[in-house]
Amino acid sequence: MNLYLSIFMSFLRIGLFGYGGGPALIPLIEKEAVQNQGWLSPEEFVDTIAMANTLPGPIATKLAICVGLKAGGSWGAVVALTGMLFPSTVLIVILSAIYYKYRNVPSVQGIIRGVRPVVIALLMVTVAHLFPKSVVSLDTFTIAAVSFIVVYFFNVHPILTIIAAGLIGVFFYR
């Protein structure tokens, strides 16, 4: 029971204090799952991100499910997802009502403009943490660079890029 309470409280904190959308929560999930609780090793966390990115849906919820599953089995996955979604579900109902009522007020617009750059900074933190664990050689750097180029400049759908990288991995890293 203590394990499930620990999982719930960890993801409740992430859900309560994680701002900026799914990718911005990755550093918070990593800190909790790897550093604070030790449910995953750093390598397992990177692998979990890679696997979770192959599936549709928000990355943060997929990571909560994966971490919860690893830490506490099927019930751990349910508890992690519940803990993570509870705060945002309650808050989004309240904040949406307030936002739509006051969205044209200059101070509300200022808050939104001030928060946007933080989201970018949190994404950069995620890249900084994942880069040394994921891009470990010239060939993995090449895969990362080509993936960025084809998705960003040529608008190739990310799932096609993930599938292609997976196939490359099957043929070159067996």
In tens, the pLDDT along 142-171 reads 999 999 999 999 999 998 999 999 999 999
Backbone angles phi, psi at 113, to 5 degrees: -65, -35
Tokens of 28: 């918070």
Instruction: Using alpha carbons, select from 18, 128, 14, 1 the residue that is nearest to residue 67.
Output: 14
Distances 28 to 123, 155, 157 between C-alpha atoms, Å? 11, 29, 27
pLDDT under 70: residue ranges of the chain: none
The model's pLDDT over 38-51, given as tens digits with 9 standing for 90+, comes to 999 999 999 999 89
pTM here is 0.62
Instruction: Reduce the DSSP state of residue 103 to 3 states and report it.
Output: coil
Q: Which of 51, 83, 34 is nearest to 165 (CA)?
A: 51
User: What local confidence, expressed as pLDDT, does residue 22 receive?
Assistant: 78
pLDDT at position 148, please?
95
Q: List all residues 6 or more positions away from 86 whose beta carbon is below 8 Å from its beta carbon.
A: 12, 15
> Could you tell me if 134 and 140 are in contact, meaning their C-beta atoms sit under 8 angstroms apart?
yes
